[in-house]
Chains A and B, each alone.
Chain A
Amino acid sequence: MKLRTLSFLFAGVLLTSLSLASGAHATAAEHIVASHAWIRVLPGNLPAGAYVTLENNGDQPVALKGASSTAYAEVMLHQSSNEGGMSRMAMLDSLAVPAHGKVLLAPASYHLMLMKATQAVKPGDTIRLNLKFSDGSTLATDFIARPADAIDDSH
């Protein structure tokens, strides 16, 4: 009996160390830490901007492809720019988070555009977005809904 318990324990330790050793095969999402996640809520059913800081603690760059949510029918990865006095917005296929580095999705820069809200989102609500990475892994992240006139003071 004792021996069997020990062997179970041993097997458990072995499995754990195997999964640790296979760290290189961990998903992209497992290397990403998301923080300062918030949404600027606009009146009516207007598209909203979502912002988040992504830190990559892995040895490989990770590519964010977009996000999905039950609260919005459509989410797009965007980049705002200002050139020659003109504000523009462009769709992005992916956004790289450098190895041991971070990328900021922040106002007037990279952001997620949330469209066609499936429910009324109001300031104070917490909205879950599943961030999608190029290897297919996802990271569930809670975003705080903030009012239209919110100022990004988190950085």
Chain B
Amino acid sequence: MLDGMNKTIDSRMKSRRSPGAAVLLLLLAISLLLTGCQRNEPLPFQLTNISGHMPALDFKLVDDQGKAVSGADYHGKVVLLYFGYTHCPDVCPLTLAQLHVVMQRLGKLADGARILFVSVDPTRDTPAVMHAYVNAFDPRAVGLTGDPGAIEALVKRYRSAFTREPATSDGNYEVSHSSAIYVFDRDGNPRVLSTPADSQDELVHDLHLLLSTGANS
């Protein structure tokens, strides 16, 4: 695990810059981190660590401005990925309201993070609907919708599922979906998983690690 992480960090450094520059940067980083938390040690996450256990962030969807976006567009940001839909009156807004509190608790650091709210109900969730919805919660939240196949691929990529439940007589329907929040570092690598059973303090703690000392780019 430790080896794997070292390799990941090494290869990342190498792929970006010349080895000499990488060493210089590493020295600079260590000298700056007076807390003694060294960069090549695994980050002491409190949530379920999924580093290396799930694939990097990758998708082709449409954001709430109607623009085509991919996972790479969010590199440089710590990403909180959550699946839901706007016709969900209880759990989805609760989760987004809680994430807004998390962002507030992170203060200025939160500007380095993005909440990606991915719709599992693209039929009803147009970019315009998503735009009004996510902005009711947090300015750093982005609503993503798009081709049902692309959404299904993303859900499956993170080993989850969603099910459209039978419609009522008036055509309304609910969608069962993953309740987890997947957290990615600035390089799009999955790092931790937050579930409803986990505390908000743990999520704030781990995001703080990723935003202040974590993999940087």
Contact = CB atoms under 8 A, between A and B. Distances in A.
Contacts of B58: none
- Counting from the closest, the 3 A-B pairs by CB-CB distance are A148-B136, A43-B132, A49-B89
B93 A49 contact: yes
Interface string A32-53: 0000000010111011110000
Interface stretch (B29-37, B168-176, B183-191): B168-176
Interface string A47-85: 111000000000000000000000000100010101001
B90 A80 contact: yes
B50 interface: no
Contacts of B161: 86
B86 A108 contact: no
A43 B90 contact: no
B90 A149 contact: no
B89 A111 contact: yes
A5 interface: no
A88 interface: yes
Interface residues of A, number: 30
B196 interface: yes
A91 B165 CA distance: 11
A46 B178 contact: no
Interface string B120-131: 000000000100
A136 interface: no
A68 B56 CA distance: 47
A87 B178 contact: yes
A82 B196 contact: yes
Interface string A114-155: 110000000000000000000000000000000111111000
Contacts of A85: 160, 178-180, 195
A115 B90 contact: no
Nearest to A110: B90
Contacts of B174: 88-89
- Name, among B88, B94, B97, B195, the residue most crowded by chain A CB atoms within 10 Å (CB to CB): B94
A23 interface: no
A97 interface: no
A87 B93 contact: no
Contact of A147 (B94, B136, B138): B136
Contacts of B84: 87
A82 B160 CA distance: 14
- Name, among B132, B174, B180, the residue most crowded by chain A CB atoms within 10 Å (CB to CB): B174
B12 interface: no
Contact of A87 (B87, B101, B176): B176
A86 B132 CA distance: 25
A107 B133 contact: no
6 contacts: A42-B86, A42-B133, A107-B90, A111-B90, A149-B138, A150-B97
A113 interface: yes
